[in-house]
A and B are shown apart, each in its own frame.
Chain A
């Protein structure tokens, strides 16, 4: 090994004196050539290994955690969005959630109108004309829905009337118009219900006539 090393060092450009010297230097490593006891090695090899089967594979953990985090953050954001007002960054999320629910349950549109009237009330206290305009616009949109009952319109209207009393002079006109539109819509809904009732009555009478004539 020593002679071989000297040859290698000479090939690498060392002088013969330097090669000899460096070759001698390698003796400092002798102390590091330690050997662990055979008993220790057997102990390692004969130790019982408890191979734990992971219930959830490791490759699945990272994506699963990421997904859970997205759901959690999404859920928390959606929950936070529910208290947002028109003009807030999270408001579109609130509207999207409501729309999704109203597709499954059309009667939820009543609750949406109530929420819009509450929003008008809250925004009117913030002294932000831009936000109030948005809240008024959102109320109008909710009012256009066909599934809103006349009772809900009446309740939300009462709320708007209270807002009209407390709102600043410059915004009074906006709320007044909104109440008028609300009244108009309420009339329309009532008329629609009455027409429907009339139609049903006529139909019932006709059915009764047919029934009586067949009995004779």
Chain B
């Protein structure tokens, strides 16, 4: 069995965004690929009941939950559970060239390291707004806050990042 055409289109459109969002949290390019696949498989399971108007926010929320599950399982010293991937019998694949590039890029390492020192809400705003280029409205929908709040947070986040980078040098 394969996915439906509309699901394929959603995957093509959003999977890179989610990969970047997850990568900035887990800082492991292979794991980010696994968890991105897990996000889409979890969404696919409920595809028939999903309102596609809100698909972007739903994908990010699912990704956030999966990352939380990952940290929880790591804290409990359990193996990372890729429930849907295992259940659906999918073999994980990776873009080895890209992963090599990410792992060697000192700029990427520096910025992800700096972002990890920020509070979670500020880090999320930076990723949504400046890594994934979402509008303040889209970011607000994902974070369940108003556009105005997104702007306030991004101002605070950029200042904080500037401070972290300055101190890091």
Contacts and interface: CB of A to CB of B under 8 A. Distances in A.
Contacts of A37: 95, 97-98
B119 interface: no
Interface string A155-195: 00000000000000000000000000000000000000000
Contacts, number: 107
A1 B133 CA distance: 9
B52 to A, nearest CB: 17
A28 B155 contact: no
Given A8-B136, A22-B158, A36 B19 contact: yes
Nearest to A14: B155
23 contacts: A9-B151, A22-B159, A26-B130, A28-B107, A29-B130, A31-B107, A31-B108, A32-B108, A32-B111, A33-B20, A36-B19, A37-B97, A39-B95, A45-B8, A48-B89, A49-B1, A49-B3, A49-B88, A49-B89, A49-B90, A50-B89, A51-B88, A52-B88
A186 B87 CA distance: 70
Contacts of B88: 49-52
Contacts of B133: 1, 33
Interface in A15-55: 21-22, 25-26, 28-29, 31-41, 43-52
B2 interface: yes
A40 B93 contact: yes
B162 interface: yes
Interface residue range, chain A: 20 to 34
A43 B90 CA distance: 10
Nearest to A54: B87
Given A33-B20, A34-B98, A25 B161 contact: yes
With a 10 A CB-CB cut-off, give which of A13, A14, A26, A31 has the most chain B CB atoms: A31
Interface string B32-65: 0100010010000000000000000000000000
Interface of B: 1-3, 8, 11-12, 15-16, 19-20, 23-24, 33, 37, 40, 87-91, 93-95, 97-98, 101-102, 105, 107-108, 111-112, 126, 130-131, 133, 136, 151-152, 154-155, 158-159, 161-162, 165
A11 interface: yes
Contact of B151 (A11, A38, A44, A48): A11
A25 B162 contact: yes
Contact of A21 (B94, B98, B152, B162): B162
Contacts of B126: 29
A5 B161 CA distance: 16
B83 to A, nearest CB: 10
A32 B95 contact: no
B19 A34 contact: yes
A214 interface: no
A29 B132 CA distance: 9
A6 B42 CA distance: 38
